[in-house]
Homo-oligomer: A and B are copies of this chain.
Amino acid sequence: MAYEAPLTDLAFALTELAGLARLEGNPAFENYDPDLIDPILEEAGKLARDVLAPLNQSGDKAGAVLGPTGITAAPGFAEAYAAFRDGGWMGLSAPEEWGGQGLPKVLGLAVMEMFHGANMAFALCPMLSSGAIEALLAHGNDAQKATYLPKLVSADWTGTMNLTEPQAGSDVGALKAKAVPNDDGSYAISGQKIYITWGDHDVAENIIHMVLARLPDAPEGSRGVSLFIVPKFIVEADGSLGARNGVDCIGLEQKVGIHASPTCVMEYNGATGWLIGAENKGLACMFTMMNSARLNVGLEGVGVGEAAWQAALNYAQERKQGKASGVEGAAPILHHADVRRTLTTMRAKVMAARAICYACGVAADLAKAGETAEIRSAARLREDLLTPIAKAWSTDMGVEVASLGVQVHGGMGFMNETLAAQLYRDARIAPIYEGTNGIQAIDLVGRKLSMANGAAMTEMMSDIDLTVRRARETNDPGLVQIADRLSQANAALGEATAWMRDKMEADRETALAGATAYLGLAGDVIGGHFLTRGAIEARAYDGQIRGRMTALAGFFAETSLAGAPGAVSSITLGGKAMLNESDALFGIG
């Protein structure tokens, strides 16, 4: 069995964990009706299962191909893209004004999770289009919106993000691409960009590149960066496609995974572009795309993790080795407790990451459309706090869970023909792009903890305390024990947070040496909080769901949450032990 959309888990995560109900009755989402959730998830699930998943392994094998006229997508991808486009999926959360359905962003995220799970290489294409749409919505002028948004929202065209250059990766400000003003208000863009996802292809008729470049008089560094719209084909005044622009894919990377997602070296030779947003304010525009992309990349971890768990479960049900009590003859390896534990680890972590990502999505919706300024600003803090955690914790989880999936498969897991092996290879990019997970950790401790005098994390921890209280009030012994673990873990998070905020003032180097460990702890505790909430809410559900959510919360509490108190010293003392001897270790005094 290939990928099957986990509809029950998705709906549960949306409604019971992420708080989708908070968007009901909001005039910004007048099209939204809770009854829509199931049909939307079901329809998207069908596309994921029937169209995208069947191309996942063939796409890995064939890959995209660079020929004299550009990139040809892997066989079947153009047809799959047409099905995606015709289903209207690109516009799900886009404004009606531009042809979208105006539904909450978080619904679009749940849909994207399924597409990532079914075929991550494919889903990257619309993911990048999302970023371009967000940038245009936030920073485009009316003419730009009118020119590009309808076709991007309809998925007739796709979008890309062009940031990285060989010398400018995490340090975007080091980029050198140039933008020279033309007489007509446009700019001539020149330079080379690398690692451009779906930078060229033949699945849609135009590609709208969002390109960071420098104006001739721009200041050095990140304050001299501007964002430009550079279409592959110039869009004429009547909306028709005109001349081919001076941008070409001149190289295709050979990667560990996501082979069907063309990762392009793009060359701009005086290509015509249009400034979007203000001069030298490109970084702000970039972060609009980037924040959207970061959350979406987190969902790649969730999607691939879900796919890995499904594949491992299927294999464990089919593969027979050894004996088990109650089974005649050779037993499916699912009957071995160690295999079941591995599967439970996978499932609990996937569900925790899903909840973090969806909660971040609801926060993003409320940050834009909350009915009061207070709601909006609180939601903005939550979105800002959860974005780096959603990105980094979920993608580290994706790699770990994909690796566990390989392990369940034994020798078969190491064969390229096995889906588990592909997922292990595909998953590995997600902790790297859209800001490495190290950058996310630095963002978390460097910016997110200090916003609004620390309110973002304080509010999060209050929510966790509330979950502790609610779990205790059930008087269910299992839930009370989970609550104890969550309470201890939240206290550990509080201790680490206080230390981190102090240290960022007093000794930034030591603080940053603990940043990744801190993000890991925060993700564990927040993930555990959502799973605990799940166990509480599942009391109103039938036995299967209730049992499952109780088991996932209980397992996560005794494994991940129980480790939280011990993780504090990893944050507060681990970095110091290393920095004290940086000379002996690295020759850095």
Binding site for B on A (CB under 8 A): 164, 167, 169-171, 174, 194-195, 253-257, 313, 320-322, 330, 333-344, 347, 399, 403, 406-407, 410-411, 413-417, 421, 424-425, 428-429, 431-433, 436-438, 441-442, 509-510, 512-517, 543-548, 550-551, 554-555, 557-559, 562-567, 569-570, 573-586, 588
Please name all residues of chain B whose beta carbon is closer than 8 Å to the beta carbon of A514 when the two chains form the complex.
341
Task: Name which residue of chain B comes closest to A551, CB basis.
Answer: B581
- Closest chain B CB from A149 CB (angstroms): 30
Known A-B contacts A171-B330, A338-B516, A563-B570; the reply to A399 vs B403 at CB < 8 A is: yes
CB of A192 to closest CB in B, whole Å: 14
* 30 sampled A-B residue pairs with Cβ under 8 A: A167-B330, A170-B322, A170-B333, A174-B321, A194-B411, A195-B411, A255-B414, A256-B421, A256-B425, A334-B588, A337-B509, A337-B575, A338-B513, A340-B513, A340-B582, A340-B585, A341-B514, A341-B574, A399-B403, A407-B431, A407-B436, A407-B438, A550-B584, A555-B578, A558-B570, A558-B577, A562-B567, A565-B565, A566-B566, A566-B567
For the complex, would chain A's binding face be called helix, strand, loop or mixed by DSSP majority? Answer: helix
Q: In the complex the two chains form, is B563's CB within 8 Å of A567's CB?
A: yes
Complex CA gap A563/B399 in Å reads 22
**Of B347, B410, B563, which is within 8 A of A585 by CB?**
B347
Q: For residue A428, give the distance in angstroms from its CB to the closest CB of chain B.
A: 6
**How far, in whole Å, are A436 and B411 apart by their CA atoms in the complex?**
9
- Which residues from B are CB-within-8-Å of A581? 547-548, 550-551, 554
Given contacts A254-B415, A559-B569, 14 further A-B contacts (CB under 8 A): A167-B320, A170-B322, A256-B421, A313-B586, A336-B512, A338-B438, A341-B574, A342-B438, A344-B585, A413-B432, A414-B428, A414-B429, A557-B577, A558-B577
> Which chain B residue shows the least CB distance to A545?
B584
- Cβ contact within 8 Å between B566 and A578: no
- Known interface pairs A344-B578, A411-B432, A414-B429; A588-B548 also in contact (CB < 8 Å): no
**Inter-subunit contact A559/B548 (CB<8 Å):** no
Pair A555/B582 contact, Cβ less than 8 Å = no
What copy number does this chain have within its complex? Answer: 2
Among A169, A429, A551: residue with most chain B CB under 10 A: A551
Chain B residues near A321 (CB-CB < 8 A): 169-171, 174
- Residue contact A340 to B415, C-beta cutoff 8 Å: no
A343 vs B413: C-alpha distance in the bound complex, in angstroms? Answer: 28
Which residues on B sit within 8 Å (CB–CB) of A583?
Answer: 547
CA distance A548 to B564 in the complex (A): 28
A406 touches B428 (CB 8 A): yes
Complex formed: what's the CA distance from A515 to B558 in Å?
A: 15
Q: Name the one of B313, B343, B554 contacting A577, with C-beta atoms under 8 angstroms.
A: B554
CA distance A115 to B399 in the complex (A): 28
Complex Cα–Cα for A510 and B340 (A): 11
Given contacts A256-B424, A550-B581, A584-B544, contact A341 B169 (CB under 8 A): no
User: What is the CB-to-nearest-CB distance from A563 to chain B, in angstroms, rounded to a whole number?
Assistant: 4
Cross-chain contact A407 with B513 (CB below 8 angstroms): no
Task: Give bound CA distance, A546 to B583, whole Å.
Answer: 11
Q: How far is the CA of A558 from the CA of B406 in the complex (A)?
A: 30
Residues of B within 8 A of A341 (CB): 513-514, 516-517, 574-575, 578
Q: Are A562 and B551 interface neighbours, CB within 8 A?
A: no
**Chain B residues near A170 (CB, 8 Å)?**
321-322, 333, 410
Interfacial chain B residues near A339, Cβ < 8 Å:
438
The reply to whether A513 and B577 form a contact with Cβ atoms under 8 Å apart is no
Instruction: Report the nearest B residue to A489, measured CB to CB.
Output: B566
Tell which of A429, A575, A581 has the most Cβ of chain B within 10 Å.
A581
The answer to whether A551 and B516 touch across the interface, beta carbons within 8 angstroms, is no
Residue pair A338, B256 in contact (C-beta under 8 Å)? no
With a cutoff of 8 Å between Cβ atoms, the chain B residues found around residue A421 in the complex are 256
